[in-house]
Amino acid sequence: MNVENTKAQMRKGMLEYCIMLLLRHQPCYANDIISKLKEADMIVVEGTLYPLLNRLQKDKILKYEWKESTQGPPRKYYSLTMDGEEVLRQLNQSWQELSNTVSKLSE
């Protein structure tokens, strides 16, 4: 078994959920998202993040708004839509169920 591959697949599967958790409190631009994920020990590169943000926006989970920046050109800030908030609620429930299952099995 390739443990590193399994770990990478687990992180990949959680990435959307983690991004939605970050955006539930306040809008963020892509570099903020990358920084906050790094702080939480989830390393993500722009080449992975941007296609995911675009897909979530296309699926009406995220929306964005351009905001002026004091350090260069305007930035695209992402936030959850109403649909995204509902999806996050469902994912939170699924995470609790999955976490409970793993806890029970690891005893």
Over the stretch 24-74, which tens digit does the pLDDT of each residue have? 999 999 999 999 999 999 989 889 999 999 999 999 999 999 999 888 899
Model pLDDT, residue 75: 94
Model pLDDT, residue 26: 94
Model pLDDT, residue 71: 86
DSSP annotation string for 36-66: HHHHTT----HHHHHHHHHHHHHTTSEEEEE
Model pLDDT, residue 47: 92
Higher pLDDT, 80 or 70: 80
Model pLDDT, residue 70: 87
Q: What is the mean pLDDT of the chain?
A: 94
pTM for the predicted model, two decimal places: 0.89
* Residue 93 C-alpha from the chain's centroid: 16
Higher pLDDT, 9 or 56: 56
CATH no. for 7-105: 1.10.10.10
Domain assignments of the chain as residue spans, ordered by start: 7-105
**8 Å CB contact between 6 and 13:** no
